[in-house]
Amino acid sequence: MSVLVTGGTGYIGSHTVVDLLNNNYDVVIVDNYVNSKPEVLNRIKTITGKMPKFYEVDCCDENAFRKVFEKENITDVIHFAGLKSVGESVQKPGLYYSNNIGSTLTLLKLMHEFDVNNLVFSSSATVYGVPDHVPLKEDDPIGGCTNPYGETKLDIEYILKYETSMCSKMNVAILRYFNPIGAHKSGLIGEDPQGIPNNLMPYITQVAVGKREHLNVFGNDYHTVDGTGVRDYIHVVDLAAGHLAALRKLTEKPGLVIFNLGTGKGTSVLELVTAFENANNIKIPYVICPRRPGDVDENYADASKAFKEMGWEAKLNIVDACRDSWNWQKNNPKGYDK
Ligand code: WQD
């Protein structure tokens, strides 16, 4: 009885694998290392004392992926694998559609072939597009995504809705993440973006470690508390716990369920910078720059449904995340590279 974790050596995937192993699940990881490193497996072993089964496979490669289902007794799937750079998706929309949607269609085909009926899908708050109000609830309108990355998440949600409506045996939990930050308290695993970080927190930690000269703040003329973008920053350890809560929810055979995974609180760019500086006693120099295309003013969750229906809520806060993100970065100034 194993949980198959696609993309399990990635940032959120690796934190979820640690939580699964610590809760005595058997784990099989499938990953092609497009945005991660083999060293992550060693770190997972160091943290948990267990080495998960691993297959270096591209989820779009049906024949190779089928061999995993043939060899392993898979009962549940958590599907993280996918390209996730908003900026890159604008440059390479075709790659994002073929990879993110193609890998999911291949996974679904194999799940049906091997009668695997429980799926937790890694979606994103970006499916809400440009929200006309906050906080966002799961039944708020979706669509109007501002980039192909978000469109792929939206399209996959539609595919999963049809799948569960046509196959009564399938149970699917769609988890809409807000903004994951932080790292495991050991500092052994964390966010390791390739090249220039797209996201705010890894850029801040690279400034703190001296890899970047200053932070570029993309716009201070938004309709927010201080003019900078407001987001719902959720600690990745809380996010991982949300996946185990979803697995438990699927044992109730709920069909299709959708949950926002966020803290329910909005934090501006400058508020996050200040929290990081105070938590770690480090100055983060920044420069105000023009807005980044596609950014929205505010985006944060109403996470009450996840608490009501799964008993899950975020337990860690912004200060914990700033401390843990820095602990990871200062102990791994080059990420997983030596
Ligand atoms: C946050 C805020 C920026 C970088 C995206 C995806 C979402 C999820 C998380 C994958 C914004 C500002 C950022 C910088 C800045 N991805 N910023 N300087 O865009 O809210 O969400 O990443 O799961 O699906 O949409 O996250 O961290 O890029 O930006 O000022 O160098 O920080 O303008 O206000 P975003 P982000």
Q: How far is Cα 204 from Cα 208, in angstroms, rounded to an integer?
A: 6
Residue 146 has pLDDT above 90, yes or no: no
Query: Considering the chain, what percentage of its residues have pLDDT values greater than 90?
Result: 96
302 lines ligand 1 (CB under 6 A): no
Structure confidence at residue 87 (pLDDT): 87
Tokens 């539609």 correspond to what residue? 158
Q: Which DSSP string do the residues of 203-265 spell out, in sequence order?
A: HHHHHHTTSSS-EEEE-S-SSSSSSS-EE-EEEHHHHHHHHHHHHHHHTT--SEEEEEES-S-
Count Cα neighbours of 146 within 13 Å in the Cβ-side half-sphere: 15
Q: How far is Cα 53 from Cα 83, in angstroms, rounded to an integer?
A: 23
Mean pLDDT of all residues in the chain?
A: 97
The answer to whether residues 164 and 170 touch, using CB atoms and an 8 Å cutoff, is yes
Tens of pLDDT, residue by residue over 93-142, are 999 999 999 999 999 999 999 999 999 999 999 999 999 999 999 999 99
Residue 149 a catalytic site member: yes
Work out whether strand 26-31 and strand 53-56 pair parallel, antiparallel, or are unpaired: parallel
pLDDT tier for residue 338 given thresholds of 50, 70 and 90 = confident
Where residue 80 falls (left for φ over 0; alpha for ψ -120 to 50; beta otherwise) is alpha
Of the candidates 302, 309, 188, the one whose C-alpha atom is nearest the C-alpha of residue 237 is 188
Residue 298 has pLDDT above 90, yes or no: yes
Identity of residue 90: V
Residue 1 has pLDDT above 90, yes or no: no
Residue 294 has pLDDT above 90, yes or no: no
Ligand 1: atom nearest CA of 177 is: 23
Q: What share of the chain is helix, strand, coil (3-state, %, to 5)?
A: 40, 20, 40
pLDDT tier for residue 293 given thresholds of 50, 70 and 90 = confident
Structure confidence at residue 233 (pLDDT): 98
pLDDT tier for residue 32 given thresholds of 50, 70 and 90 = very high
Q: How far is Cα 182 from Cα 192, in angstroms, rounded to an integer?
A: 12
The average pLDDT across 234-253 equals 98
Gap from CA of 164 to ligand 1 centroid (Å) = 31
Question: Helix, strand or coil for residue 185?
Answer: coil
Which residues, other chains included, contact 295 with Cβ-Cβ below 8 Å and sequence gap of 6+?
146, 218, 219, 229
Which residues, other chains included, contact 218 with Cβ-Cβ below 8 Å and sequence gap of 6+?
229, 269, 289, 290, 291, 292, 295
Gap from CA of 179 to ligand 1 centroid (Å) = 7
Query: Considering the chain, what percentage of its residues have pLDDT values greater than 70?
Result: 100
Count Cα neighbours of 81 within 13 Å in the Cβ-side half-sphere: 29
Tens of pLDDT, residue by residue over 161-218, are 999 999 989 999 999 999 999 999 999 999 999 999 999 999 999 999 999 999 999 9
Of the candidates 168, 21, 12, the one whose C-alpha atom is nearest the C-alpha of residue 79 is 12
198 lines ligand 1 (CB under 6 A): yes
Strand partners, 286: 215
The average pLDDT across 65-75 equals 98
Residue ranges in 31-147 assigned as alpha helix (H): 39-48, 62-71, 86-91, 93-96, 102-113
Q: How far is Cα 278 from Cα 70, in angstroms, rounded to an integer?
A: 51
Structure confidence at residue 302 (pLDDT): 98
Of the candidates 19, 58, 68, 15, the one whose C-alpha atom is nearest the C-alpha of residue 35 is 58
Is the N-terminal amide bond of 141 cis, ω within 30° of 0? no
Structure confidence at residue 177 (pLDDT): 97
Gap from CA of 205 to ligand 1 centroid (Å) = 14
Strand order from edge to edge, sheet including 298-299? 267-268, 230-231, 298-299
Q: Which of 84, 177, 205, 218 to mutate to test the pocket of ligand 1 (most atoms within 8 A of CB)?
A: 218
* List 25, 128, 149, 203, catalytic entry: 149
